[in-house]
Homo-oligomer: A and B are copies of this chain.
């Protein structure tokens, strides 16, 4: 049957495209966007340079397709984990734990994210403003929402902006992530979430 075969072809093509994205993810993460060549990607995808163009329009398109699909997946996973809880404190814990989990599971992507996109934020290019930005916004909104509930129930002090608190929590997490990347297989990240909770709630003052 014609349509059956066509569907299989479709899936096959999808699969091959995904393999290319996987290769690209690795190469971009290791070298950064500019230093990574189409040959690098082709080699890792066990393809020829020209072959890549059967699936994507060019280097930029590969980068964007790969980057966006990863970012979207991460955000969905994160929101999924949070929604397993009703209690906002547990949600906050889940958020922090899952930030670590995501980084462990998608370490290549986050390596790339840090490498290229802490700079790209300033560039305000299309990929960022139209695709990635909204995703991050969505996550941030969720976190602020949780924090607001914790303020209302007097678990968190009420004299600070929820947005400010959300940012500070994220940066505390980022500290661990950055340290982890500098010595990637030494320590397991998941266990660090307790430290973050402790630090952001109790601070440095002795008890």
Contact = CB atoms under 8 A, between A and B. Distances in A.
A204 B157 CA distance: 6
B111 A115 contact: no
**Number of this chain's copies in the complex:** 2
Nearest to A169: B204
A205 B202 contact: yes
Contacts of A205: 156-157, 201-203
Interface of A: 32, 34, 111, 114-116, 118-119, 121-123, 154-158, 160, 164-165, 167-168, 170-172, 174-175, 179, 181-182, 195, 199-207
B121 A118 contact: no
Secondary structure type dominating chain A contacts: helix
B181 A172 contact: no
Contacts of A156: 204-206
Contact of A118 (B118, B157, B201): B118
A206 B115 CA distance: 37
A174 B165 CA distance: 14
Contacts of A204: 156-157, 160, 165, 200-201
Nearest to A116: B119
